[in-house]
Amino acid sequence: MRYSKDHKAETHERIVKNASVRLREGGAASIGVADLMKEAGLTHGGFYAHFASRDALIGEAFAHAMEQTAKRWRKRAEQAPEGKELASIVAGYLTAEHRDDVGNGCALPSLGAEVLRANPKTRKAVAAKLEEMIDIISEQMPVQAAKAARREAIASLATMMGTLMLARMAGAGDFSEEILAAGRHSVLQGEASAKPRTKKSKPAAGRT
Amino acid sequence: MRYSKDHKAETHERIVKNASVRLREGGAASIGVADLMKEAGLTHGGFYAHFASRDALIGEAFAHAMEQTAKRWRKRAEQAPEGKELASIVAGYLTAEHRDDVGNGCALPSLGAEVLRANPKTRKAVAAKLEEMIDIISEQMPVQAAKAARREAIASLATMMGTLMLARMAGAGDFSEEILAAGRHSVLQGEASAKPRTKKSKPAAGRT
DNA sequence: TGTACATCAGTGAACGCGCGTTCACTGATGTAC
DNA sequence: TGTACATCAGTGAACGCGCGTTCACTGATGTAC
């Protein structure tokens, strides 16, 4: 072959990564085949050696963005001092840096509305990843009952993504900072140093 | 004139209303001039007698969606029994009906990501409307201190819109219902029958 | 070791199509006289 | 009251442009003999 063993796989991954950034920044409609290939240093004709269609790429870009977000949370939870797992995730989430980095940020606020317009297969994959993400937060909840932990995990996730969206809508001034602070206060009140529900000796298990 | 006095204004409004539904459902990219005019019973050429450009229409559609949402909340707060204003807004918000009616639903979850791609003028107008919406919720908060009320209003709004988005991402099954219930529980816990901060004798004032 | 062939990631011209915008025109009504 | 003209919301053909997709081709490398 002309290229190294997994050269094609690397190219494929590069295209998907770039697409997932653009997807978060500008929505699926902003993804242009020619632009994307140019960004990857290739010409547009080669696109169809990697993807069956533009829509297939969009599906992969969704999956990549969701998985990247989940990975980030797992890593944060693992690296945080015991009892500070949730606080660490929230502190990393509700920041001006995250607000301003839409393309590499959490998939949920960027893609929540977008996924409604995606094909059924993509929608299902996204819903499954969402379950995973809820599990990750749920494991860090300072509540003993699993049911309550799950309920609170969902609400915390909702508050986090909602806060980030509102902060983005508000722009980058005092109003936006106020929103971020309100979200942090709400999610973390009275839970700053409580113990998570599960030990973190093992990486988080997959979804149910 | 060929038509009644405010015929043109009515046509204009009809186009904007239709556009604001499409904007919420499919994003700005889904708004096609020809489609929209056809929906209004007209031909595409007449569009430019009403709007300077497609982009100008999109700006009006944003404003309409935001104002419609704010109006709905004011109405709900006015019609609710005293002490149940916030509960009434939340109960109307976190329902399967609202989840399934994206086009006529709250502007925030549908347009939060979309507005980041709009022009600066539209972005500013949306941010101003967001302030108004926070004020509406803030006035119904069962807290005496204005600062705390505003903080809690922001967090409630974030949780509400975040919950609705998560429920939409989850589809329409048990998982989705669970999300809605978690959001209702979170926003309303312990506040079900507290008194709002302000009397509702007068319609809510404009934003600061 | 040398030669002919197969492989296949990537190239770039070409296609069909839809879209935003322009523009000369229509035709019903209000107004001036 | 009747006639000629001005107004203007709406019509529909035409335009230029960008985009997704197709396809014959390239050329460097691995493999068979």
Can you give the distance from the CA of residue B2 to the C1' of nucleotide D4 in angstroms? 18
Q: Which tokens in the block code for residue A120?
A: 């059924």
Task: State the average pLDDT over residues A147-158.
Answer: 96
Closest residue on chain B to A176 (Cα) = B127
pLDDT category of residue A77 using cuts at 50, 70 and 90: very high
Parent domain of B119? 55-188
Total domain count, chain B: 1
Tell me, yes or no, whether A28 lies in a domain. no
* Candidate from A114, A127, A157 with C-beta closest to B113: A114
Contacts of B63 in chain A (CB under 8 A): none
Tell me, yes or no, whether A62 lies in a domain. yes
Please tell me the predicted confidence (pLDDT) of residue B191. 56
Instruction: Please identify residues in chain A, positions 35-74, with a C-beta within 7 angstroms of any atom of strand C.
Output: 37, 42-46, 49-50
Note the pLDDT tens digit of each residue in B152-180.
Answer: 999 999 999 999 999 999 999 999 999 99
Contact of A113 with A129, CB cutoff 8 Å: no
Write the DSSP assignment of B79-96 as a string of letters: HSPTT-HHHHHHHHHSSH
Residue to substitute from A154, A157, A186, A208, interface B, most B β-carbons within 10 A = A154
Give the least confident one: A15-29, A81-95, A192-206.
A192-206
d(CA A125, CA A133): 13
d(CA A142, CA A136): 13
Whether B42 shows a pLDDT value over 60: the answer reads yes
Nucleotide nearest residue A42, measured CA to C1': C10
- Residue in B131, B117, B132 with CA at minimum distance from that of residue B58: B117
Please tell me the predicted confidence (pLDDT) of residue A143. 78
Tell me, yes or no, whether B205 lies in a domain. no
Residue A170: give its domain's CATH number: 1.10.357.10
Please check whether residue B32 touches A, CB under 8 A.
no
Please tell me the predicted confidence (pLDDT) of residue A144. 76
Whether B144 shows a pLDDT value over 80: the answer reads no
Please tell me the predicted confidence (pLDDT) of residue B146. 92
Q: Where are the alpha helices (DSSP H) in A115-145?
A: 120-139
Note the pLDDT tens digit of each residue in A94-112.
Answer: 999 999 999 999 999 999 9
What percent of chain A stands above pLDDT 90? Answer: 85
Contacts of B114 in chain A (CB under 8 A): 27, 113
Task: Measure B160 CA to nearest chain A CA, in Å.
Answer: 7
Task: State the average pLDDT over residues A160-182.
Answer: 97
The answer to whether the CB atoms of A155 and B186 lie below 8 A apart is yes
- Which positions 92-151 of A are in contact with B (Cβ < 8 Å)? 102, 108-117, 123, 126-127, 130-131, 150-151
Tell me, yes or no, whether B91 lies in a domain. yes
Tell me, yes or no, whether A61 lies in a domain. yes
What percent of chain A stands above pLDDT 70? Answer: 88
Whether B194 shows a pLDDT value over 60: the answer reads no
Note the pLDDT tens digit of each residue in A112-128.
Answer: 999 999 999 999 999 99
Tell me, yes or no, whether A26 lies in a domain. no
Task: State the average pLDDT over residues A139-161.
Answer: 94
B171 touches strand C (CB under 7 A): no
Nucleotides of strand D within 7 Å of the protein's CB atoms: 7-14, 18-24, 27-30
Q: What are phi and psi of B152, to 5 degrees?
A: -70, -30
- Residue in B135, B161, B162 with CA at minimum distance from that of residue B149: B135
Tell me, yes or no, whether B172 lies in a domain. yes
Task: State the average pLDDT over residues A39-54.
Answer: 96
d(CA A130, CA A125): 9
Task: Measure A154 CA to nearest chain B CA, in Å.
Answer: 6
Instruction: Please identify residues in chain B, positions 43-82, with a C-beta within 7 angstroms of any atom of strand D.
Output: 43-46, 49-50
Task: Measure A174 CA to nearest chain B CA, in Å.
Answer: 12
The answer to whether the CB atoms of A170 and B108 lie below 8 A apart is no
Whether A201 shows a pLDDT value over 70: the answer reads no
Note the pLDDT tens digit of each residue in B7-23.
Answer: 888 999 999 999 999 99
pLDDT category of residue B53 using cuts at 50, 70 and 90: very high
pLDDT category of residue A191 using cuts at 50, 70 and 90: low
Please tell me the predicted confidence (pLDDT) of residue A202. 42
Task: State the average pLDDT over residues A132-146.
Answer: 92
Tell me, yes or no, whether A169 lies in a domain. yes
pLDDT category of residue B142 using cuts at 50, 70 and 90: confident
pLDDT category of residue B206 using cuts at 50, 70 and 90: very low
Please tell me the predicted confidence (pLDDT) of residue A196. 61
